[in-house]
Chain A
Amino acid sequence: MKILVTVKRVTDYERKVKIAPDGKSLLTDGMSFVANPFDEIAVEEALRLNKAHGGEVVVVSVGPKDSTQEIRKALAMGAHRGILVTAETVDSDVYARALQQLVEKEQPELVIMGKQNTDDDANQEGQLLAGYLNWPQATFASKEAGLDSADEKAQKPGLVVDNGQLTVVREADGGLEHLSVDLPAIVTTDLRLNQPRFASLPGIMKAKKKKVEEFSLGDLGVDPAPKLTYVAYSEPKERQAGQIVENIDALVDRLRNEAKVI
């Protein structure tokens, strides 16, 4: 089975990004970057499916040239080859149309993506791509058992592929929804799908020799005009730290008589 997985280069979620003085852009110089954590889960799932069903795992990213680093990380985890589409934008729609072209070129049976990127939390890429391709989608893929389960330790995939069909357990409001979709399909990963592996040293060495193709939006015939643009950035109103109370009696008193919330 050929699987395409997407990896987006995002700012390190442990660090705060600053706003430029004119409020029109973000200052990312000197920031460290990582692969979007949801995408590591996507790569892990693709590798588990690959172990079970064979085939190929192709990692794709759309973004700045440096995204090659995140592609290489996925190759070090075990993916087979990479594709980078160079683009300077923040618009999900441009990304989705670029991915659509790659999917049409590569003809995978399954595309696994993260549910959201931690830079802007758009949570729409997989759904957009599914819409453009008119493929079925199963977003927020999860597992029935917790990540501590024996199955997880046995590294079994959470996605079940059988006979051209994919069964997915998805995180919905109020419970877990079980869906079955025809392949080809788009899946987006939630946090509980798996525990991503670390790249091994031999993995990192091998990754250096793996092929990463590069295209521009123009090569793929993708219109670079964004549909969504960010025009200004500002800081949210921050909460002030309040008071430390000395004991439960004081806490109950404040909640009752000062905040009046109980």
Chain B
Amino acid sequence: MSNILVVAEHNDGTLAKATLTCVSFAQEAAKRTGGVVHGLVTGSGTSAVAEELAKYVSVVHHADAPAFEHSLAETKAQAITIGADAAQASVVAMAATAHGKDTLPRAAALNGAGMASDIIGFAADSGLQFLRPIQAGNIIAACEIATERKYVSTRPTDFEAAEELQSPGTVQALTVNVPSPKTRFVQFAKVASNRPQLTEATTVVSGGRGLKDAKGFPELIEPLADKLSAAIGASRAVVDSGWVPNDMQVGQTGKVVAPNLYIAVGISGAIQHVAGMKGSKTIVAINKDPEAPIFQVADYGLVEDLFKAIPELTSKL
């Protein structure tokens, strides 16, 4: 029992990039345990996803059945424990996306195993002590899991996406008999967008309460994001007000992003917001209050009224 099992996430038939960041965590973990990296794909009609994952891991366990059409935590968690046995996994890992956060702890409980959430790396050069941010990212804790099988979710921004292996791994069918679930999928109200995904974009433009009302996004933020081919993010304040969809929230309790360029517009820089973007390479803050805490983390700060600054910036790019 020294292998690492990566639980895959896929959307609309495509393997999530977050899963590949989890694979690179797993490769490092496998070096430490002397095992190899396995993958688990559950779904219905997902051969292409399994083949895709096999480019990155030695063995893919593939549970393909109508019962897995919707990624319900209740059924998927059962598949994970069975996959973990099949893979002889000492570590079971999944990217800490909304889906990973929903699913993995449930599997850990079914397994009676300990779990560390949202880990960002290893505490030492060898062994399986993990690092995870606590207290809104103000403190990094090194943690140890006592059970033989360890469950971890990995923070996508803190691991590079894995490279393809020289020769792809094999795909093995995994039989999972799940009793009929007590959860039913009703519908998914997707946020339509032709922009890059927030967590994967190289540039993110985020808006806050300084935009005054919902119109600020279409009138100011979107034209700027268009110019930069950027994804759009937001502070909690504007998400709560319903100006933009929930899934745009950047922060401790929203998404963690680490683009090359993060532009915060009319955002004060509360610690909970900063927790979600301080890993960005270059941070720009535009705020009319020179005392705004966002300037403490910004590489470039501009103290100006955003209603003047943003149209000018957009026109000069």
Contacts and interface: CB of A to CB of B under 8 A. Distances in A.
Contacts, number: 271
A102 interface: no
A259 B184 CA distance: 49
B74 interface: yes
Main secondary structure of the interface of A (DSSP, over half): mixed
Contact of B139 (A26, A173, A226): A26
A236 B236 CA distance: 23
A50 interface: no
Given A147-B241, A245-B302, A262-B317, A233 B190 contact: no
B146 A227 contact: yes
Interface stretch (A68-76, A121-129, A211-219): A121-129
Given A127-B106, A142-B246, A171-B98, A147 B240 contact: yes
Contacts of A125: 105
B23 interface: no
Given A119-B135, A231-B129, A242-B301, A179 B113 contact: no
B253 A116 contact: yes
A230 B141 contact: yes
A131 B228 contact: no
A236 B109 contact: no
Contact of A121 (B113, B118, B247, B302): B118
B183 A137 contact: yes
Contact of A16 (B135, B240, B300): B135
Contacts of A91: 114
Interface residues of B, number: 94
B172 interface: no
A26 B115 CA distance: 21
Contact of B102 (A127, A147, A167, A231): A127
Contact of B317 (A142, A146, A252): A252
Interface string B230-241: 000000100111
Contacts of A128: 105-106, 108-109, 115
Interface in A168-213: 171-182, 185, 190-192
Given A167-B186, A233-B142, A245 B98 contact: no
Chain B CB within 10 A, most for which of A129, A177, A190? A177
Nearest to A97: B109
A147 to B, nearest CB: 5
A231 B143 contact: yes
B141 A192 contact: no
B105 A120 contact: no
Interface stretch (B24-32, B35-43, B58-66, B277-285): B277-285
B312 A241 contact: no
A136 interface: yes
Interface string A232-256: 1111100101111101110110110
Interface string B96-119: 011101111111111001111110
B118 A135 contact: no
A118 B240 contact: no
Given A228-B116, A228-B143, 12 more contacts: A13-B272, A118-B136, A121-B253, A136-B181, A172-B188, A172-B247, A173-B97, A173-B99, A174-B11, A176-B188, A233-B139, A261-B282
11 contacts: A119-B134, A121-B117, A124-B115, A128-B115, A136-B182, A179-B185, A181-B183, A191-B249, A229-B146, A230-B141, A248-B304
Identify the 4 closest CB pairs spanning chains A and B, nearest first.
A146-B242, A131-B109, A227-B114, A124-B105
